[in-house]
């Protein structure tokens, strides 16, 4: 086992252990992948003010996200096909998050079902909803999330249609994987992954198969999924979703201040500044560069979170200093999961918390809740 010091170490290990089609699914963006890369690299433009001779004892990274106590301002983002990065991946991720003290968000397009995750955890998790053309399915999955005790509904609003991801098309991505000769050869080089998958029955989209009308097996699943993302989703749909859910709602996929104002208007409890990890509109702003204008527009009226490009605790600090009440890790979580299962998720979270804690200290801060723009330096002060 190599010495793991950073998220990049987990990424390299995951790339070795996860079949190419699933690793590429996690580690790619749409079209030229420009926005995907910018999500990460734009953090490096923001510099930090180092302070000295300040009492750094008794530091804390604890805070709240939508009123829930969290060990640090980080949640695990909803990611599709997580159970194909590692057998029972969503269950392992949820268990690691619960033990660590951060929220876990389960995707509609998960391999393990809502009920699977609820059975293996003892604290409420969050559920991410894609609104489908089949409104009966959407209503039923909301009801299932309520029955499982989920404490927040994360409604994704930026996937009315899919941005093209070249690697997925070339790899013939599917769950379970298509057994083409190149895919079989590649999977044969991943024995750890293969043994894990042989040991579980969870190998398809268990939130959908057996729950959506006419979807009883894999052959009917693919055609259903390709037709179901709803291009007619609009702000008026929030009314029936809120009524059906009856709890806290977080809107994910806001990247423009005008849309942030709409999120406030429809009564969301929080919004997530996100461009879907650079997997939708290539050429859109990075999440961190979009964050300041959204904070300035609505930040004192609605809780603002941020998703996209978080690889270090310093990234978390920068987003928090710019006004985000919380951040989300998607790829960093998947790298840890693919590399080492549940222990890898815990390692990823621990890396980020330690980096956040150390950076706070060197910036002269003891409490993550005291972070402000004063700790940041930028040549052009774009916020």
E strands, 13-80, in order: 47-48, 63-65, 68-70, 74-76
Task: State the helix-helix crossing angle for 287-298 and 257-265, rounded to 10 degrees.
Answer: 50
Helices assigned H by DSSP within the chain: 7-17, 20-26, 34-41, 89-100, 114-119, 135-147, 166-171, 181-188, 191-198, 218-228, 237-245, 257-265, 287-298, 313-321, 331-362
Distance in angstroms (rounded) separating the CA atoms of residues 253 and 163 = 14
Q: Quick check: helix, strand or coil at residue 38?
A: helix
Q: Quick check: helix, strand or coil at residue 148?
A: coil
For 134, the token pair is: 């089949």
Q: Tell me how crowded residue 34 is: count the other CB atoms within 10 A of its CB.
A: 15
120 part of the active site: no
Region of 101 (left: φ > 0; alpha: ψ -120 to 50; beta: rest) is left
Residue-wise DSSP of 235-304: TTHHHHHHHHH-S-EEEEEE-SHHHHHHHHHTT-SEEEE--GGGTSSTTSPPHHHHHHHHHHHHTTTSEE
Nearest CA to 365 out of 60, 160, 131 is that of 60
DSSP structure class, residue 221: H
Task: Please report, for residues 14, 61, 268, 312, the alpha-carbon distance to residue 348 in angstroms, rounded to integers and kept in the order given.
Answer: 12, 16, 30, 9
Among the options 166, 211, 276, 305, which is catalytic? 276
For 157, the token pair is: 């609003």
Nearest CA to 151 out of 67, 77, 89, 211 is that of 67
- CB-count burial class (<10 Å; 0-12, 13-18, 19+) for 61: buried
- Catalytic positions, written as ranges: 276
């Amino acid at each position: 086992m190599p010495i793991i010091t950073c998220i990049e170490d987990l990424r390299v290990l995951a790339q070795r252990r996860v079949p190419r089609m699933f690793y590429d699914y996690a580690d790619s963006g749409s079209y030229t992948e420009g926005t995907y890369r910018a999500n990460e690299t734009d953090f490096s433009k923001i510099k930090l003010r180092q302070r000295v001779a300040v009492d750094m004892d008794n530091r804390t990274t604890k805070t709240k996200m939508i009123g829930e106590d969290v060990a640090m301002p980080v949640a695990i983002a909803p990611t599709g096909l997580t159970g194909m990065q590692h057998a029972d991946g969503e269950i392992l991720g949820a268990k690691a998050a619960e033990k660590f003290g951060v929220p876990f968000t389960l995707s509609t397009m998960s391999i393990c079902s809502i009920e699977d995750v609820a059975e293996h955890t003892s604290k409420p998790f969050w559920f991410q909803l894609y609104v489908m053309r089949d409104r009966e399915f959407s209503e039923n999955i909301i009801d299932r999330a309520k029955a499982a005790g989920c404490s927040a509904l994360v409604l994704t609003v930026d996937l009315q249609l899919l941005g093209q991801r070249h690697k997925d098309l070339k790899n013939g991505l599917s769950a379970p994987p298509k057994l083409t000769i190149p895919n079989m050869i590649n999977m044969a080089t991943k024995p750890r992954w293969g043994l894990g998958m042989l040991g579980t029955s969870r190998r398809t989209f268990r939130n959908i198969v057996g729950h959506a009308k006419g979807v009883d097996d894999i052959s009917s699943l693919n055609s259903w999924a390709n037709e179901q993302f709803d291009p007619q989703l609009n702000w008026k749909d929030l009314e029936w979703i809120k009524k059906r859910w009856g709890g806290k709602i977080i809107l994910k996929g806001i990247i423009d201040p005008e849309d942030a104002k709409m999120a406030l208007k429809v009564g969301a409890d929080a919004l997530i500044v996100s461009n879907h990890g650079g997997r939708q509109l290539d050429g859109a702003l990075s999440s961190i560069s979009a964050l300041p204008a959204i904070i300035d527009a609505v930040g004192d009226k609605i809780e603002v979170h941020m998703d996209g490009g978080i690889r270090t605790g310093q990234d978390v600090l920068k987003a928090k200093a710019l006004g985000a009440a919380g951040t989300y890790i998607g790829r960093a979580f998947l790298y840890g999961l693919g590399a080492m299962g549940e222990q890898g998720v815990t390692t990823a979270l621990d890396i980020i918390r330690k980096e956040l804690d150390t950076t706070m200290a060197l910036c002269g801060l003891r409490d993550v809740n005291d972070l402000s723009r004063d700790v940041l330096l930028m040549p052009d002060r774009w916020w």
